[in-house]
Structure 1
């Protein structure tokens, strides 16, 4: 399965999810969480932050997200977490 970067229409495609996440964290600007103000890498890591650190309701209020947008992000998180070697991502980002 190929993984495509969906940040701002980037569209770069990767053979594995770990490379896609590292790309998002290193090649795109960071973003500020609208709930708590924490600055995080954009893409998967920003979504992961929002959904693990904050409630669904906080996310909806801060981002004006619809139920469909919340479900889409939850499904993306699940797909990535099912496929990713998170230790490999952390190791690569610590370099």
Structure 2
């Protein structure tokens, strides 16, 4: 099983579960401000999701001076996490529950 690595500012922490990675990114790092609209949100997955669900690719490219390759990379990160993570569990954990129902 591959591990999930946090690459925010060279963090390098690794996790067995993608949900643990997203919780870590949301609680273990400073929040960031969206360069397009000024919204302050957790770095990592939630920042990427915000950028691509709330703004156009063109807005993102202009505001972040991003290349097409950087846009594709972040879109791939978002897609991979959404394909493999139980985002409801992540949100439940961030709201104070453990999010796990066995």
- Pairing 1:89–2:90 present: yes
Instruction: Name the Cα RMSD after superposition.
Output: 0.5
Shift of 1:47: 0.5
Aligned length in residues: 95
For 2:43 and 2:79, how far apart are their aligned partners in 1?
Answer: 17
TM-score by length of 1: 0.99
Runs of 4+ residues over 3 Å off in structure 1: none
Which structure 2 residue ranges, 5 or more long, are not aligned?
97-102
Bigger relative CO (Cα 8 Å, ≥ 6 apart) = 1
Which structure 1 residue ranges, 5 or more long, are not aligned?
none
Larger CA Rg, structure 1 vs 2: 2
- Pairing 1:11–2:15 present: no
Please identify which structure carries the higher helix content. Answer: 1
